Chains A and B, each alone.
Chain A
């Protein structure tokens, strides 16, 4: 069975600090997809990134970066120079390749950026 673990329930930092959100996953599939979503106070989940299991390159998008390591089954998310607008709940998710493309979510990490 697939499983996603986000061990950090809540993180609080001061604005401009860097912060890393951890995500560890379990799957028996050789091909799969990993995702990060952001849930602001409004409630809607906003898609941030998709990574397939064959691509271990790290990715950077502005202040966001993602570190995918298959050897440790981790897909961590770093925000550089955090801003108050980054405050939200962040979810890591895992999907099978093919089939119904169902998502398995972690418990989420509530990130609070203090001014």
Chain B
């Protein structure tokens, strides 16, 4: 089955610790995105990548880092510089080549991050 897999489902971070959220897709999509969702709020863009080895900051990139070494993978690291990391993190991907599907972002099931 094609889709987007996020792991782990739940993650706990200690003070001063960096943690990495995994996002893998087997849809052969070019673009990948990371969003943060706080309770009762919409999604805000953290980082995005349109091609391998290239990525750009979104609206709330401070305290986060990403890499895009493979087309299928776009891991997000929440660094110790992110002082309020408790949130629901969603990864998405989209194609740029299939006309009927262009601009549609498909989402993973999310990772819920909490601070111990």
Cβ contact within 8 Å between A95 and B107: no
Is A100 located at the chain interface by the 8 A CB criterion? yes
Q: Are the CB atoms of B42 and A97 closer together than 8 Å? A: no
- A42-50, A54-62, A67-75 - interface stretch: A42-50
Q: Does the CB pair B42–A101 fall under 8 Å?
A: no
Is B45's CB under 8 angstroms from A102's CB? yes
Collect the chain A residues with CB atoms within 8 Å of residue B107's CB: 37, 44-47
With A43-B109, A100-B31, A102-B48 as contacts: A91 and B42 at CB distance below 8 Å: yes
Which residues of chain B come closer than 8 Å to A43, judged between CB atoms?
88, 90, 109-110, 112
Q: Is the CB of A42 within 8 A of B45?
A: no
In the complex, what residues of B have CB within 8 A of residue A4's CB?
A: 42
Is B103 touching A33 in the complex (CB atoms < 8 A)? yes
Contact indicator A102/B58 (Cβ below 8 Å)? yes
* Total contacting residues, chain A, CB less than 8 A: 23
B50 adjacent to chain A (CB < 8 Å): yes
Contact B103 A101 (CB under 8 A): yes
> Quick check: B50 and A100 within 8 Å, CB to CB?
yes
Residues of B within 8 A of A (CB): 31, 33, 40-45, 48, 50, 56, 58, 88, 90, 92, 94, 96, 102-110, 112
A-B contact pairs, 23 of them (CB 8 A): A4-B42, A37-B107, A44-B107, A45-B107, A47-B104, A47-B105, A47-B106, A47-B107, A50-B103, A91-B42, A95-B103, A100-B48, A100-B56, A101-B31, A101-B94, A101-B103, A102-B58, A103-B33, A103-B105, A105-B44, A106-B42, A107-B41, A108-B40
